[in-house]
Chains A and B, each alone.
Chain A
Amino acid sequence: MNLQFRFRRLVKKHQSQLFSLAYHLLGQSAEAEDVVQDVLVKLWQHLPELEAARVKPWLLRVTRNASLDLLRRRRYSQAYVTETVNAGPQVVSESPLERLSSSDLGQRLAEAIRQLDEPYRSLVLLRDVEEMNYREIAEALELSDSQVKVYLHRARRRLRERLGSELDD
């Protein structure tokens, strides 16, 4: 198959899932778009050597890593600015899930997801929001299948404990 044609198909197929993951991790549309653009350009550069079955996990892994790198840089930068100018406590912005969730419980769930540590947050996003299968998640996060299950169970348990009685009817 022609490389350009294959690339165009992959871009169309995966761009929304990559954008969604980056957006949920970063909480900002412009940054998420920049990350996905960079990732897709990298895909173009590496496409000849990537097996078809490995493209999706590769894309998700690179997107997640780039988003987390950006997040770390942003936090470092904000912490530096806060410390330097003594601007007071850092304002925590709403995540996209919070903005999108219309119900109160949905918003609190989104907040609880945002407060999860890695890799729990990515696991919940990939499995429960993006509905990816365990194998793809394991490859994307470079975990074993059993680690994915155990960590995912732990992540859901933390969410359940955090939300408590709010989950009752």
Chain B
Amino acid sequence: MIEEKTLPAWFNERIEPWLDGDLAGGEAALFEARLADDKTLRREVQRARALRQELAALPGLKAPRNLSRKVLEMTGAEPRVPLWGWATGAAMAASLALVVTLSPTLFPDATVDTGGLAENTAPGLELSDEELARATAELRLALGYLDRAGEVAARQVGAQTATRAVQPVTLLPRDGETI
């Protein structure tokens, strides 16, 4: 009776190591010999396998979506996106091209003060066709950049607004996992 009680405990403690292949040769042989004859031990081994399957089926959790943003803001490690930098640069380029192109029309008599070193008077509408075509092309290019800059800025503003919204805790399984 005592021997029967002791033996199952010895085997019971070795079920997990045996499943992991961690039993030494002699112990493994003893365990397997018993396993062949003992229905109770076989049932416990089967339960241990079932337990592992159930454990593997438990889902992991995903962090809330705004967690990383909060942490990056708290630490100052957030990537610094110059939101208006690109747009401002393109807008300035477009404005400059616009001024250069239209200045003869708008300010036909404008004089640039060069401190007496030189004097330059705008030549009115005396642009050649080639100069006008080049200026128009540059203006179109600059306006194109400006347009694109506006789109980029709008996307960034939209993205920032979306990520700043309070997100519920996400209790979804990770990729490849099922609940």
Contact = CB atoms under 8 A, between A and B. Distances in A.
Interface of A: 3-4, 7-8, 11-12, 15-20, 23-24, 29, 33, 36-37, 40-41, 44, 96-97, 99-102, 105-106, 109-110, 124, 128-130, 149, 152-153, 156-157, 159-160, 163-164, 167-169
Contacts of B68: 8, 11-12, 15
A102 B15 CA distance: 28
Contacts of B75: 7, 40-41, 44
Contacts of B16: 152-153, 156-157
Interface residues of B, number: 39
Interface of B: 12-13, 15-17, 20, 22, 43-44, 46-48, 50-52, 54-64, 67-68, 70-72, 74-75, 77, 79, 169, 171, 174, 179
A40 B73 CA distance: 12
A163 B64 CA distance: 32
Contacts of A3: 77
Given A109-B54, A157-B12, A157-B16, A102 B47 contact: no
Contact of B51 (A23, A99, A159): A159
4 cross-chain pairs, A with B, having the tightest CB-CB distances, nearest first? A153-B16, A128-B55, A19-B63, A20-B61
Contact of A19 (B22, B43, B61): B61
Contacts of B70: 37
A149 B71 contact: no
Question: Chain A interface mostly helix, strand, loop or mixed?
Answer: helix
Contacts of A18: 63
Contacts of A40: 71, 75
7 contacts: A20-B60, A128-B56, A149-B22, A156-B48, A164-B47, A167-B51, A169-B50
